[in-house]
Amino acid sequence: QKEVEQDPGPLSVPEGAIVSLNCTYSNSAFQYFMWYRQYSRKGPELLMYTYSSGNKEDGRFTAQVDKSSKYISLFIRDSQPSDSATYLCAMSTGGYNKLIFGAGTRLAVHP
């Protein structure tokens, strides 16, 4: 079993839709949870960062962490074609320990 599981998609939605991206994990020691966005042929860029459980909102993006279920989500409201990218979840136990990445979900938002 992988430490972090993420459906690779692809996920195709119409412009304006609400997008839900998810990851599950097995290591209960994870405390730091991140979402990265990666455009084609580019390096990943940090999109959202959450410590422990709860929600965090930044514009059209909301990150949720449910540590009891070992489940994290990223919601994108009013999705735009410019949101078309691969979204990778990542998590760490902290203290300079390594980030563990999911496989990434490819999202396509069509006009």
**Binding residues for another protein, per CB under 8 A?**
6, 8, 32, 34, 36, 41-46, 49, 51, 88, 90-92, 94-99, 101-104
Nearer to another protein among residue 19 and residue 34 (C-beta): 34
Contacts of 9 (CB under 8 A, 6+ apart): 105, 106, 107
> From the CB of 12, what's the least distance to another protein, in Å?
16
> From the CB of 98, what's the least distance to another protein, in Å?
6
Distance (Å, whole) CA 29 – CA 19: 28
Determine the 3-state secondary structure of 71 from DSSP: strand
Nearer to another protein among residue 17 and residue 24 (C-beta): 24
Determine the 3-state secondary structure of 82 from DSSP: helix
> From the CB of 68, what's the least distance to another protein, in Å?
21
Nearer to another protein among residue 37 and residue 83 (C-beta): 37
Closest by alpha carbon to 44, among 80, 88, 101, 106? 88
